[in-house]
């Protein structure tokens, strides 16, 4: 009886050692087919500034979903300056100025109509 259990355990461990890697059914198909790492490093990453926070803790910007401060690096670019509506980066010796998303739109404040004029319309 002991020999049969030992043989069974030995066969199970041998099968495990020869097994293929497990397939993850939740893994996206694009993860299985990816470009070589050299191609990814050469392609510039699009940078988007979503939010700027200026307060007692300093200046912080949300760039591509990552909070960074002045002097930090994101996507191969160094954060040079964080302004109220613009973030300045340096990448590969070039200076890049990124507006905060939504700040570059031409927005005009609503015009007030005096009460006397509004009743005539």
Range from 23-27, 75-79, 105-109 that averages highest in pLDDT: 75-79
Residue 29 counted as domain residue: no
Q: How many folded domains does the chain comprise?
A: 1
Residue 66 counted as domain residue: yes
Please give the torsion angle defined by the CA atoms of residues 71, 72, 76 and 77, in that order, rounded to the nearest 10 degrees. -40
Please name the residues in contact with 79: beta carbons below 8 A apart, sequence gap of 6 or more.
61, 63, 68, 69, 70, 71, 72, 73, 87, 88, 89
The CATH number covering residue 50 comes to 2.30.30.830
Q: What is the tens place of the pLDDT at every residue in 32-72?
A: 455 555 544 556 678 889 889 998 889 999 998 899 999 99
- Predicted pLDDT at 2: 73
Global pTM value:
0.50
Range of the structural domain that residue 68 is part of:
46-99
Residue 94 counted as domain residue: yes
* Averaged pLDDT, 108-121: 56
* Averaged pLDDT, 67-83: 92
* DSSP states of 73-113: EETTEEEEEE-SSEEEEEETTEEEEEEBTTTSS---PPPP-
Residue 76 counted as domain residue: yes
- Predicted pLDDT at 80: 95
Residue 15 counted as domain residue: no
- Structure tokens given for 37: 């790492």
- Predicted pLDDT at 113: 59
Q: What is the tens place of the pLDDT at every residue in 5-31?
A: 877 777 766 655 555 566 677 777 654
Residue 67 counted as domain residue: yes
- The answer to whether the CB of 61 falls within 8 A of the CB of 67 is yes
Residue 87 counted as domain residue: yes
Strands of the sheet containing 58-63, edge to edge, are 49-55, 58-63, 66-69
User: CA 13, CA 8: separation in Å to the nearest integer?
Assistant: 9
Residue 68 counted as domain residue: yes
- Predicted pLDDT at 19: 52
């Amino acid at each position: 009886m002991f020999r049969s259990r030992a043989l069974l355990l030995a066969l199970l461990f041998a099968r495990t050692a020869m097994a293929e890697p497990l397939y993850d059914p939740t893994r996206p198909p694009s993860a299985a087919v990816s470009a070589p790492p050299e191609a990814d490093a050469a392609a510039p990453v699009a940078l988007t500034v979503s939010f700027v926070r200026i307060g007692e803790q300093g200046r912080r910007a949300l760039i591509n979903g990552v909070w960074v401060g002045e002097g930090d690096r994101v996507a191969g670019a160094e954060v040079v300056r964080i302004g109220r509506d613009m973030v300045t980066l340096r990448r590969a010796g070039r200076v890049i100025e990124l507006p905060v998303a939504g700040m570059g739109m031409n927005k005009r404040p609503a015009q007030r109509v005096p009460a006397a004029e509004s009743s005539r319309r």
